[in-house]
């Protein structure tokens, strides 16, 4: 007779803590679930930002320093086109890449001329010569023709006039491809 109340008491003592424990576990489950959703959403946003074509690539270039030189189709593959107003040449590689070269000779500042026949730039002042990528073929020019960054936007070839860059050699990173 006395054992029954004892058992009942034992049961209560062991049962009581289970209620809050179960509640805590379910609360933690909910927290993990929410954190999981947040992490998944952030991951998806990251993937989307990688896949989306960036319109802000050239955001740092002020619009007033970008000069529209022409439409992409105006520059056939393999061509070299002078732009005397902006004092530059637009070189289009056979694979379609663009390169903008300064028209100013790095020796003493004369204007170089493109020679279609010999496929090189000649300086009329002291006979320096440069290949179609502006690399020195004959001195006294101390370095290649300077290059300017080309940007292709909405089918237009634009040049960053503030980006005139001295260089020691040609590097593929100087080329811009139309998408
Ligand atoms: S200015 Fe061009 S070679 Fe002297």
Q: How confident is the prediction for the chain on average, in pLDDT?
A: 84
Instruction: Yes or no: say if 176 and 152 are a contact pair by the CB < 8 Å rule.
Output: yes
Distance from C-alpha of 33 to C-alpha of 90, rounded to nearest angstrom = 57
What is the pLDDT averaged over residues 8-37?
72
Which atom of ligand 1 is nearest the CA belonging to 105?
A: 2
Architecture of domain 63-174: 3-layer Sandwich (2.102)
Which atom of ligand 1 is nearest the CA belonging to 126?
A: 3
Q: What is the model's pLDDT at position 29?
A: 86
Six token digits for residue 145: 């023709």
What is the end-to-end Cα distance of the chain in Å, rounded? 91
Instruction: Look at residue 36 and give its three-state secondary structure.
Output: helix
Strand segments, DSSP code E, in the chain are: 66-71, 80-83, 88-92, 98-102, 113-115, 120-122, 129-130, 136-138, 147-148, 150-153, 156-160
**Span from the CA of 57 to the centroid of ligand 1 (angstroms):** 36
Choosing from 128, 143, 145 the residue with most ligand 1 atoms within 8 A of its CB, the one to mutate for a pocket test is: 128
Q: Is the pLDDT of residue 23 over 90?
A: no
pLDDT in tens, 125-151: 999 999 999 999 999 999 999 999 999
Q: What is the model's pLDDT at position 1?
A: 45
pLDDT in tens, 57-99: 455 677 778 889 999 999 999 999 999 999 999 999 999 999 9
Choosing from 112, 123, 143 the residue with most ligand 1 atoms within 8 A of its CB, the one to mutate for a pocket test is: 123
- Please report which confidence band the pLDDT of residue 18 belongs to, taking 50, 70 and 90 as the band edges: low
Instruction: Look at residue 148 and give its three-state secondary structure.
Output: strand
Q: Whose CA is nearest to atom 1 of ligand 1?
A: 108
Which atom of ligand 1 is nearest the CA belonging to 110?
A: 1
pLDDT in tens, 149-172: 999 998 999 999 998 999 999 999
| Cβ of 159 below 6 Å from ligand 1 | no
């Amino acid at each position: 007779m006395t054992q029954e109340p004892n058992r009942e008491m034992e049961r209560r003592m062991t049962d009581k803590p289970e209620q809050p424990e179960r509640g805590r576990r379910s609360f933690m489950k909910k927290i993990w679930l929410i954190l999981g959703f947040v992490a998944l959403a952030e991951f998806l946003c990251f993937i989307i930002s990688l896949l989306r074509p960036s319109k802000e690539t050239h955001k740092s270039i002020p619009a007033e320093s970008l000069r529209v030189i022409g439409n992409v189709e105006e520059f056939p593959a393999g061509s070299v086109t002078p732009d005397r107003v902006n004092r530059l040449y637009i070189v289009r590689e056979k694979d379609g890449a663009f390169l903008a070269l300064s028209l100013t000779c790095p020796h003493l500042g004369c204007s170089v001329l493109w020679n279609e026949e010999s496929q090189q730039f000649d300086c009329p002042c002291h006979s320096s010569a440069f290949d179609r990528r502006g690399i020195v073929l004959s001195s006294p020019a101390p370095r290649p023709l300077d290059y300017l960054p080309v940007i292709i936007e909405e089918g237009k070839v634009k040049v960053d006039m503030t980006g005139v860059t001295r260089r020691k050699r040609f590097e593929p990173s100087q080329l811009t491809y139309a998408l």
